[in-house]
Structure 1
Amino acid sequence: MFKPTASIFKNHQIAGHYRAIDRAQKCIVPFHFEIQGREYPEPARESNWLRRLSGTRSERHAVVELTPSKVMILWSPEQRNLGEMPLSQIRCIQIGAIRWHATEGLDPRHAFRATIFVLTDAGNFYFANSDMEVLPAIFKFAHQHGIAVEDPLHLIPLLKVGWHVAAKTLHATYKELVAHTGYPEGKV
């Protein structure tokens, strides 16, 4: 099992330019994921009416797109290709969760972020995503393409009951789940 080092959980940064891939090799960086045509999280509706009419978006973010043959890192909305690798280079994907907020009064569904660690021969990449529903989609995609998936926190069975119920369970048992895995107990 891959044990993430504490250093990747520090310096949590926002993807914002062409160096996002380099940063994703050093620390966890938030990325959108697109798997078989569905984006996680779903893009928010554009509030600027002029941009809506023209079909452009004001929000800029990096996207990891999983296709049947390769993984592409894109800078959206321009869809500029920042890098790609064939699926055959991926040794393993580890899925997990990190505590984003530790506040008890907060809706537990917003207290966690999905983590996706892509382990390759060329190096490892560390991504975060605000939509926990990305984890079952990645698990299914990896299974279809023969990529090994590690789930040290046992999130896939937990997410099968629905994210609302799973979030409460995860919130209550997070300390026990992360013990001896390398994931931080506190919020990131």
Structure 2
Amino acid sequence: MFKPMASIFENHQIAGHYRAIERAQKCIVPFHFEIQGREYPQPKPEKNWFRRLSGTRSEKHATVELTPSKVVLWSPEGRNLGEMPLDAIDKVQIGAIRWHVQAGLDPRHAFRATIFVLSSKGNYYFANSDMDVLPAICQFARQHNLPVEDPLHLIPLLKSGWHAAAQKLHDTYSEIVAHTGYPDSKV
């Protein structure tokens, strides 16, 4: 019988939300990221005037918050799903996968950033629609002495800007992922 690895995240306050952490151990789960006060992707401006005045949002997302001491997962409702100390992380791997997208669309929308948090107690797989999260994660990891793996060599590619990088990634994705374990097809 399959038994999932023990989760390193603590403070599982709501039994039903524990599945979000368990799911992130088994497959790539879309999450927003908040790194040093900046959200990835940037939230869209609220159109409802009452929500703008009250400071609330119509759109709510599950979020991974990176703080100087820990990683915190938040539910869309703002509940703490779990926390993991930064020193429990062995390394972070960044990458990109093809996403469901129709042919002929802007290649910037064809990829999702992947962030794999690897620890001795389990691995966690996250996806984000904003590729600018990758340089921010690398900078955060450098500041906190976390090893970062970039098997697709995306950071040098992203220095030219996401539009140019997306076109090059779109044209050469099959060759880039050939021996990395990343899927060549759309996810």
Q: Name the TM tier (shorter chain).
A: 0.7 to 0.9
Aligned to 2:123: 124
CA distance in 1, matches of 2:106, 2:31: 22
Q: Cα deviation per residue 1:4-35 (whole Å; 9 max; x = unaligned)?
A: xxxxxxxxxxxx95532111111100000011
1:30-49 alignment runs, 5 A limit: 30-49=30-49
Deviation of 1:120 after TM superposition, in Å, equals 0.9
Determine the C-alpha separation between the residues in 2 that align with 1:37 and 1:185.
Answer: 34
Partner SS state of residue 61, structure 1: coil
In 2, the alpha carbon distance for the partners of 1:49 and 1:17 equals 31
Q: Which residue of the partner structure matches residue 11 of structure 1?
A: none
Number of residues of Structure 1 aligned to a counterpart in Structure 2: 172
Q: TM-score, normalised by structure 1?
A: 0.87
Range that drifts further, 16-25 or 134-143: 16-25
Letter in 1 for 2:161: G
Distance 1:54 1:156 in 2: 38
Unaligned runs of 5+ in 1: 1-15
Match of 1:106 in 2: 105
**Identity within the alignment, %:** 76
Instruction: Give the Å deviation of 1:103.
Output: 3.7
What are structure 2's unaligned runs of at least 5 residues?
Answer: 1-15
* Aligned counterparts of 1:73 and 1:167: Cα–Cα separation in 2: 29
Distance (whole Å) between structure 1 residues aligned to residue 83 and residue 159 of structure 2: 31
**Partner amino acid for 2:66?**
L
TM-score normalised to structure 2 length: 0.87
Q: How far off its partner does 1:105 sit?
A: 1.1
Return the offset for 1:49. Answer: 2.4
Contact 1:102–1:186 (Cα < 8 Å) also in 2 = no
C-alpha distance in 2, partners of 1:164/1:184? 22
- 8 Å CA contact 2:101–2:109 kept in 1: the answer is no
